[in-house]
Amino acid sequence: MVKNDDVSFTSSALKIAPFLHHQTKPSLPFFSQLLQTKLTFLDSLLTRTRFPNSPLLCSASFSLPRPSSPGSDPKSLPILCSASLSLSQSQLRDSTQSDSVVAQQKSGGAGGVHGPSRYDEERVLISEVLVRNKDGEELERKDLEAEALAALKACRANSALTVREVQEDVHRVISSGYFCSCMPVAVDTRDGIRLVFQVEPNQEFLGLVCEGASVLPTKFLQDAFRGGYGKVVNIKQLDEVISSINSWYMERGLFGMVSNAEILSGGIIRLQIAEAEVNDISIRFLDRKTGEPTKGKTKPETILRQLTTKKGQVYSMLQGKRDVDTVLTMGIMEDVSFIPQPAEDTGKVDLIMNVVERPNGGFSAGGGISSGTTSGSLPGLIGSFAYSHRNVFGRNQKLNISLERGQIDSIFRINYTDPWIEGDDKRTSRTIMVQNSRTPGNLVHGNQPVNNSLTIGRVAAGIEFSRPLRPKWSGTVGLIFQHAGARNEKGEPMIKDHYSSPLTASGKNHDDMLLAKFESVYTGSGDHGSSMFVFNMEQGLPLWPEWLFFNRVNTRARKGVEIGPALCLLSLSGGHVMGNFSPHEAFAIGGTNSVRGYEEGAVGSGRSYAVGSGEISFPVLGPVEGVFFADYGTDLGSGPTVPGDPAGARLKPGSGYGYGFGIRVDSPLGPLRLEYAFNDRHTKRFHFGVGHRN
Of 488, 363, 480, 366, the C-alpha closest to 438 is 488
Of 377, 456, 444, 367, the C-alpha closest to 690 is 367
CA distance 511 to 494: 12
Instruction: Please state which of the ranges 83-92, 274-283, 647-656 shows the lowest mean pLDDT.
Output: 83-92
- How many CB atoms neighbour CB 106 within 10 A? 9
Binned at pLDDT 50, 70 and 90, residue 97 comes out as: very low
Mean pLDDT along residues 482-499? 90
CA distance 666 to 669: 8
Per-residue pLDDT tens digits for 308-334: 999 999 999 999 999 999 999 999 999
What is the pLDDT, as a whole number, of residue 449?
A: 67
The more confidently predicted of residues 46 and 461 is 461
Q: 466-474 contacts: CB < 8 A, separation 24 or more?
A: 466/428, 466/429, 466/431, 467/426, 467/427, 467/428, 467/429, 468/426, 468/427, 469/520, 472/522, 472/523, 472/524, 473/520, 473/521, 473/522, 474/520, 474/521, 474/523
Per-residue pLDDT tens digits for 437-487: 998 888 898 876 655 678 999 999 999 999 999 989 999 999 999 999 999
Mean pLDDT along residues 627-651? 95
The answer to whether residue 345 scores a pLDDT higher than 50 is yes
Mean pLDDT along residues 677-689? 94
Binned at pLDDT 50, 70 and 90, residue 490 comes out as: confident
> What letter represents residue 550's amino acid?
F
The answer to whether residue 532 scores a pLDDT higher than 50 is yes
Provide the β-strand partners of residue 484.
458, 511
Of 81, 41, 59, the C-alpha closest to 175 is 81
Number of H helices and E strands in the chain, helices first, is 8, 35
Mean pLDDT along residues 381-397? 90
Mean pLDDT along residues 46-62? 37
CA distance 649 to 500: 9
CA 440 to chain centre: 46
What is the pLDDT, as a whole number, of residue 690?
A: 84
What is the pLDDT, as a whole number, of residue 120?
A: 55
Percent of the chain whose pLDDT exceeds 90: 65
Of 81, 230, 211, 71, the C-alpha closest to 141 is 230
Per-residue pLDDT tens digits for 205-217: 999 999 999 999 9
Provide the β-strand partners of residue 89.
7
Contact assessment for residue 679 and residue 595, using Cβ atoms and an 8 Å cutoff: yes
The answer to whether residue 10 scores a pLDDT higher than 50 is no
Q: What is the largest CA-CA distance in the chain?
A: 140
Q: 304-312 contacts: CB < 8 A, separation 24 or more?
A: 305/420, 306/330, 306/420, 307/281, 307/353, 309/278, 309/281, 309/351, 310/278, 310/281, 311/278, 311/279, 311/280, 311/281, 312/277, 312/278
The answer to whether residue 53 scores a pLDDT higher than 90 is no
SS3 string, 541-559, reads CCCCCCCCCEEEEEEEEEE
Contact assessment for residue 415 and residue 433, using Cβ atoms and an 8 Å cutoff: yes
- How many CB atoms neighbour CB 153 within 10 A? 10
Percent of the chain whose pLDDT exceeds 70: 80
Instruction: Please state which of the ranges 81-90, 408-417, 482-491, 634-643 shows the lowest mean pLDDT.
Output: 81-90
Mean pLDDT along residues 663-673? 88
The answer to whether residue 21 scores a pLDDT higher than 80 is no
Separation in Å, CA 266 to CA 227, 233, 269, 330: 18, 12, 9, 57
Across the beta sheet with 277-285, the strand order is 277-285, 348-357, 333-342
The answer to whether residue 269 scores a pLDDT higher than 80 is yes
Per-residue pLDDT tens digits for 543-572: 999 999 999 999 999 999 999 999 999 999
Mean pLDDT along residues 187-208? 92
Contact assessment for residue 376 and residue 407, using Cβ atoms and an 8 Å cutoff: yes
Mean pLDDT along residues 281-289? 95
The more confidently predicted of residues 406 and 23 is 406
CA distance 375 to 682: 22
CA 324 to chain centre: 12
Provide the β-strand partners of residue 615.
569, 629
Binned at pLDDT 50, 70 and 90, residue 91 comes out as: very low
Provide CB contacts within 8 A for 545, sequence distance 6+.
none
What is the pLDDT, as a whole number, of residue 552?
A: 98
What is the pLDDT, as a whole number, of residue 377?
A: 43
CA distance 26 to 257: 8
CA distance 178 to 204: 10
What is the pLDDT, as a whole number, of residue 369?
A: 61
Q: At what angle do helices 142-151 and 163-175 cross, to 10 degrees?
A: 130
Looking at every residue in the chain, the average pLDDT score rounds to 82
Mean pLDDT along residues 55-64? 43
Mean pLDDT along residues 399-424? 91
What is the pLDDT, as a whole number, of residue 392?
A: 94
What is the pLDDT, as a whole number, of residue 117?
A: 52
Separation in Å, CA 208 to CA 257, 261, 418: 17, 11, 51
DSSP, collapsed to helix, strand or coil, labels residue 8 as strand
What is the pLDDT, as a whole number, of residue 299?
A: 95
> What letter represents residue 74's amino acid?
P
CA distance 194 to 545: 113
Mean pLDDT along residues 178-191? 91
> What letter represents residue 677's amino acid?
A
Provide CB contacts within 8 A for 90, sequence distance 6+.
6, 7, 8, 55
The answer to whether residue 348 scores a pLDDT higher than 60 is yes
The answer to whether residue 7 scores a pLDDT higher than 80 is no
Within 18-108, residue ranges assigned H as helices are: none
The answer to whether residue 497 scores a pLDDT higher than 60 is yes
DSSP, collapsed to helix, strand or coil, labels residue 408 as coil
CA distance 598 to 652: 11
Provide the β-strand partners of residue 440.
455
Instruction: Please state which of the ranges 11-25, 340-354, 528-542, 638-652 shows the lowest mean pLDDT.
Output: 11-25
Q: Which residues of 119-136 are buried (b: 16+ CB within 10 A; e: fewer)?
A: bbebebebeebbbbbeee
Q: 321-329 contacts: CB < 8 A, separation 24 or more?
A: 321/253, 327/303, 327/353, 327/355
What is the pLDDT, as a whole number, of residue 366?
A: 75
Binned at pLDDT 50, 70 and 90, residue 261 comes out as: very high
What is the pLDDT, as a whole number, of residue 191?
A: 83
Half-sphere exposure of 410 (CA within 13 A, CB side): 9
DSSP, collapsed to helix, strand or coil, labels residue 151 as helix
Contact assessment for residue 203 and residue 229, using Cβ atoms and an 8 Å cutoff: no
Per-residue pLDDT tens digits for 141-164: 999 999 999 999 999 999 899 999
The answer to whether residue 582 scores a pLDDT higher than 70 is yes
